[in-house]
Structure 1
Amino acid sequence: MIPIIMIAVFVIPMGISGTAIALPHIAGELGSSPAMLQWVVNGFNVTFAVFSLVWGIASDRIGYRATFRLGVALVLAASAMSALAPNLLVLDAARLVAGVGCAAVATGGTSLLSNAFSGAERGRAFAVFGTVIGLGLALSPTISGGLIALFDWRGVFAAHAVLAVPALALSALLPNLRSAERRKLADFSLLRNQYFLALTLVPVAGAFGFVTLLTYLPVAFSGVAALSAGETGLLMLPMAIPVLIGPMIGARGSPMTIIRVSLAALVLGTLGMLLLAPGTWLGWLVLPMVLLGFGFGLPMGLIDAEALAAVPAHSIGTASGVLNLVRMGSEAIAVGLYAVTLTWLIGRSIPDRDLAHDTAAGHPGQAAVYANAFHWVMIAQAVLVTITIIAIERLHRARVKTAVS
């Protein structure tokens, strides 16, 4: 069961980090409209977030296997449509559908794992789940860079479709599980659970501190250092290894200790990205990238398992939907804010509208302007991550106080 789910789950992070590295190439062929390009990445995030809640409710009713299979079918169709897109409008529409499908894959997959396993086995299953997500997030820029070098940007989306084929074919072998009780259309009472709420905020910090950089750092390397897609993919590897090994390490430690260490690493890694500047040796960025990788990867093996274990069994599908709504919703907001803010800052420095758009899309030639805008965005993100850390810590202390009393 686990391999079938993981094949499909691997497409989710590829849809986030693997797509961004293709943006300069997509812009070169289909146009560099900032809004349309942002929706290639963020459209996926938005529909993933919104439909995570929808699929969470639906999966408790129609069954987790059915939800998973519908999701894989949508991913296959949307990926093929993306690979064949003749313009940005069609590509954006396909990415919206892909987000809907991946939301179903994530919700159905996590609900199947949570219901099929218990105790230590459940912990191990979710550690594998976190590792696969981390593997996809970390290696997608490198994989996508290679696919672009071999085929062009369309090869990135074709690869998503290829992965979906065996997952769909084998999904009939999954157990037919569903909740024994009907749930309300929207059960946000789960967020009154202080531990569940604190856990849902951890991915919010990861969205601002890691996912934005995983999405747009390849564009920054192109804009500041004029690196090719292949070179950028290789340079992203220092963020990969920590995300690969982090979930297994984090699953063995005390949850709150792991969370605190990971969040501190996110702040330090984000501030370390201020070293990216024209003429600066890129080797200085290795340590900040490693910190970012561990900051995101360490809690990945425990967040879903801990959060779903903190709610009643009949609410697991709904809880998974809420968790993914917060996770992907925050990623959509974080990635969108990054792109809008960076584009605005660059536009203030470059009066020529077309040149400003090309610079924001990662075209080389205005390295100093891009780096300056990038630095201000990094400072803002470090502040936002710090605010999220404070909120998580306050919730944890309130939970402990309630338990003691």
Structure 2
Amino acid sequence: MSGMNLALGSARLDPFDQFPVQLTTQHHRLLHHWLSTYATMMFDDAHGQAFNPMRDVWCPLDLSNAASFNAIMAHSAAHLARMQGLRQSKEALKFKAEAVRIVQVWMEDPERALSDDVLAAVLRLLTYERYWGTEAEWHVHYNGLSNLIQARGGIEALQSNWRLELTTFLVSLMSKPSWFDCSNQIEELSGQHLAARLHPVLGDTVNLHRIRCLWLLSFVQDVGTFRANSPEIYSHGTSQFPAIKEALGLLKLHLRQNETGSMRQGPCTDSEFTRLACLFFICTLLQQSTSDSRAATDLSGRPSHYDTQLVSYLNTFLDSSRPQWYGSIENLYTTLFCTFDASWRTGLNMEYIRNMTGIMASMTGGVRYGVERCLLNILCRTESNGFDAFDEEWTPDLLLSQIPPQ
């Protein structure tokens, strides 16, 4: 990181005026922050032949036109403000407004209204709203993107621009702006889909791998949003729910006893898959409870609280079934996925969670390990806002900066 920071800090980022706008000092600062966020993925030469979603997809799209560039500047400004402890960024809103203005101008031009530039810009505005806006604003851009795709003739019509084809296809699988929501169509990425080999996009195994890598980037960003949208959990962990806390402690202990670290090699083992699935189950339920609460209080502008009734329901269930799962992650998996039934009140989909686990299992061992550490760090905080050495520094931002090409 220090070498990369030195290189960026001492050089002109646009010596040949190749950026879509004339760079200012403000642009330089935000570009530096944006590139630093994805340091390993952008600058790790050890994986030159591996697919790199930032270098190979998002960076070319973000620098392809002025609207996309302003949207990523908004994203960078909002992220920088959050790191500085600010809840809102006027700078981010300014760049977002400029991106929207440019798109509106293009939409009034018949020759440009359905262009790749418009699609790329709307995709980045969707990214901004996912993490810094509201679900309602996300749906506005999502519906706009859907209309553009339909007018272009469907996603198949984007094959001439494979970057747009893959990113647009991934977004089309979403109905809610978080992969922790079971209403999304993630089964197509799991490799279990019966018609996958006939799919116009996923029928190509290279495309499937690339879309999974793009999904990983999106998922890790969702982990950061999950933390931001669950301030009570991040401040105090699950101390109010002792049975859930005990189940998480079991998963954490198993990880510590059976994993050698972030450099682990080899495919995902059965026990690792079981542990990941249990962790994703708990996170998905907590996300659902937070989403339900936010839907009722979204206009308040205050940090949301999670639905304690829903979380208490899981806690009571785990407490009453403790003899069935205590001391065994395999038994905990069976208890959660085969005995617990909350679909009638939460919209939980066990198969969705298994599919999400399967996609994560296809990633490298270091990435899987980092995702587990981040989620356990969020969920296992103590009442004193502390954490032990096992959790130290494992944050979504750190993981994002260290994800290697896959």
TM-score, normalised to structure 1, is 0.28
Structure in which a larger fraction of residues adopt helix? 1
TM-score, normalised to structure 2, is 0.28
Structure of larger gyration radius = 2
